[in-house]
A and B are shown apart, each in its own frame.
Chain A
Amino acid sequence: MSGKTKVRDIPSRRVLLTDPSQLPIDYSSTPGGTLFSTTPGGTRIIYERHELLQLRNSPLTRTPPKNLPKIAGVTSPSTTKGSPQPDSVNGQATIPEEKKCDEDPQFEMDI
């Protein structure tokens, strides 16, 4: 398309206040209109990744939670004696399964 592009201002509206009494009672709304100070439909507690990471080293996170259960492989080392170990419990069955995986990368999950 040819032709000159006409410069146009972004549409806006000015509201002139001559007296403080013209200010809205509710200061979270804008004179002459409403701005949402919250998300329509309700507020949510939102955190960006970096905000969460900043709280990572808070002193509260240094000690393990009081009720942290000892679960071999995830909250305590999997070498713990007496704990069931996924690999050693059924060691012989592991080998054929691995072979199967080589043939079919989408091997069956057992949920």
Chain B
Amino acid sequence: MNNNKFDALKTSDSDDSDNENKDMKEEREPVTPGPGEHALQFAYTFWFTPRFPGRQASSLNFEQNIKYVGTVASVEQFWAYYSHMGRPGDLTGHSDLHLFKDGVKPMWEDPANKEGGKWIVRLRKGLASRAWENLILAMLGEQFMVGEEICGAVVSVRFQEDIISVWNKTASDQATTSRIRDTLKRVLNLPPNTIMEYKMHLDSLKDNSSFRNTDVFVR
């Protein structure tokens, strides 16, 4: 498997600021598929961010809060983690569950993300667990067919809604973003009039908000 690009990103991360928490900084052994296991095209890492309502939002807090869960390189390893983790529908309070390519941090500032953006789908309560599973299975199975453009996926559990996002590397690449949108609609089985929103990470950095001031698409 060709993960060299991501290894390269890892090295360039090491000169980041000292503000990162242990989880973000820690050097980890590369994860490989076990004997007889079904290899994935890319290794992926689960991250979890519990949120504390009322606390000041900042990139620093985000880095301090984020928790490393584990990295998977095979289908079997994925299920071993997934089966022993809470489903988005069971998570309490405000929290984010991330599944990102190994070597890409789930942050706007990561070198793999800084030119990128994300598709956002807002779901009413009760739908997130199934939607999240369908989304990450499609991502792990390389169903998006956009080369190396996918960076990761996030499910954000909020008070009144749950939000699912897919991050890609190049926000300006329209062929890629529309293919991701169409695949997302297909795998989540979204009704035709579903509102989908896209937001560039550059804009998120400017307004320090993940889900406000998005570009809205209805089809």
Using CB atoms and an 8 Å cutoff, list the residues of chain A in contact with chain B.
44-49, 51-53, 55-56, 58, 60-65, 67-69, 71-75, 78, 84-87, 89-90, 93-94, 97-98, 101, 105-111
Is B219 close to A, CB under 8 A?
no
Q: A46-B142, A75-B84 are in contact. Are A52 and B137 (CB under 8 A)?
A: yes
Q: B86 touching A110 by the CB < 8 A rule?
A: no
Using Cβ atoms and an 8 Å threshold, which residues of chain B touch A44?
A: 41, 142
Contact of A71 among B48, B143, B187 (CB under 8 A): B48
The answer on a CB contact under 8 Å between B209 and A46 is no
B48 close to A67 (CB less than 8 A): no
Per the 8 Å Cβ criterion, residues 88-103 of B in contact with A are 91-97
- Contact across chains for A47 and B75 when beta carbons are under 8 A apart: yes
Contacts of B54 in A (CB 8 A): 90, 93-94, 97
Bound CA span A71–B16, Å: 25
Q: Is the CB of B93 within 8 A of A87?
A: yes
Find chain A residues with CB under 8 A from B210 CB.
109-111
- Cross-chain contact A45 with B53 (CB below 8 angstroms): no
Question: Besides the contacts A65-B81, A69-B68, what 4 more A-B pairs have beta carbons closer than 8 Å?
Answer: A60-B76, A69-B69, A90-B53, A109-B156
Q: Is the beta-carbon distance between A94 and B53 smaller than 8 angstroms? A: yes
Which of B5-13, B32-40, B173-181 forms contacts with chain A?
B32-40
Which single member of B1, B37, B50 contacts A84 (CB below 8 Å)?
A: B50
12 A–B contacts, CB within 8 A, in A order: A46-B41, A55-B38, A60-B77, A65-B81, A73-B48, A73-B50, A78-B93, A85-B93, A93-B53, A97-B54, A109-B211, A110-B210
Given A64-B84, A109-B209, A109-B212, the answer on whether A49 and B95 have CB atoms closer than 8 Å is no
